[in-house]
Structures are given as structure tokens and as C-alpha cells.
Amino acid sequence: MSSGVTTTGIGSSGSGIKTSLRIGPQATVCQDCEIKGEVIIGPKTVIHPKARIIAESGPIIIGEGNLVEELAQIINKSDDDNQRTPLIIGNYNVFEVGCHVEALVTGDYNVIEAKSHVGRNTSISNGCVIGALCDVVGKETLPDYTVIMGKITNVEFNMRDHRFNYYNLKC
């Protein structure tokens, strides 16, 4: 698709979600991705094939210069049908292959690595790295420059209990 495009109807038919898509200048959105709901894609952002951007519970607003790789999922879905909260992604973030992000706030310059999962109640500040295969689903705001590595499995994890922004959690 070319830059500056406004379109409707992208995504699977019969989904029951009206799609409205705005694409900023110099952005690249591959035809083979899935986009549903109200989505705004900022300039110079790249959406790879097979990526999914689903806005069921409010719009998804993606800033400038982001990279959404293959099979990455950015989902705005709430259990409360009446809740219409926007999911806002800042600038220059990387969403690697197969990651799943529901965080309503993602700042700037973050890397969400392959097959990681960030839940709806987690907010990501700036310059953070969520390592491959990590599940971050607690009700937390990650401080700037937080790095999470290793897989968090059956662990009650509270950021305020830790002194440093670097976490190496072993399985």
C-alpha cells in the first residue's frame, strides 16, 4: 500500500469489526497482514506479512518508525465490551517475530523480542527490552530502560521489590 492511504475493509470478512485504517507517509504495510478495527499507522512504520493488528476494544495508534515483524500480534481487546480504551504505541519500537502485545501504553525505543507476551495491564516506558519467550502480564509500569530476560513461569513478580532495572530470571 502506498503512504497516506485511508481505507476500510482490510482484514477477514465476517469478523463483525468495522475496519478503518490510516497509513502515514513512507509507511509500508504488506498486503498479507491482518488489520481489524480502527488503526492509525504512523510515518515510516513497517508492518510485515502475517502480522496481526486487531483493535476490538478501541483504536490502535502506532507512532513513527516502528517495525512489526512476521506473526507479531498487537491486540486491543478487553473483557468489558463497554470499555473503549486506545492502545498507543510510541516511536521507533521493534515487535519481533511471534510476539503478542496487549499493553495499552508502549513508549519509545523498545524491543519486544520473539515470542514474548506483554499483557494488557502492563505499561512499557522507554528503551525497554522484553526478552524472547518472556511473559510480562502483571499490573506494572516498567521503568525506563528495563531489561527482562528469561522466562517468567509461575512467579509473582513485582517490579517495586527490585532495586535495579535489569532482571535475569532463570526457569
- As given in the structure block, the three cell numbers for residue 15 are 469478523
- In three-state secondary structure terms, 121 is coil
- DSSP letters, 122-166, are -EE-SS-EE-TT-EE-SS-EEPTT-EEES---S----GGG-SSSE
pLDDT at position 9: 44
pLDDT at position 156: 44
The pLDDT profile of the chain, 171 residues, written as one tens digit per residue, is 444 544 444 444 445 678 899 999 999 999 999 999 999 999 999 999 999 999 999 999 999 999 999 999 999 998 887 778 999 999 999 999 999 999 999 999 999 999 999 999 999 999 999 999 999 999 999 999 999 987 555 444 444 444 444 444 443
pLDDT at position 64: 98
pLDDT at position 16: 67
Percent composition of the chain: helix, strand, coil (DSSP 3-state, to 5): 0, 35, 65
- As given in the structure block, the three cell numbers for residue 156 are 509473582
CA 147 – CA 35 distance, rounded (Å): 29
Selection from 125, 133, 139, 167 nearest residue 153 by Cα: 133
Q: How many CB atoms lie within 10 A of CB 40?
A: 20
- Read off the pTM: 0.81
Exposure string for 125-152, b = 16+ CB within 10 A, e = fewer: bbbbbbbbbbbbbeebebeeebbbbebb
Hey, what amino acid is at 33?
C
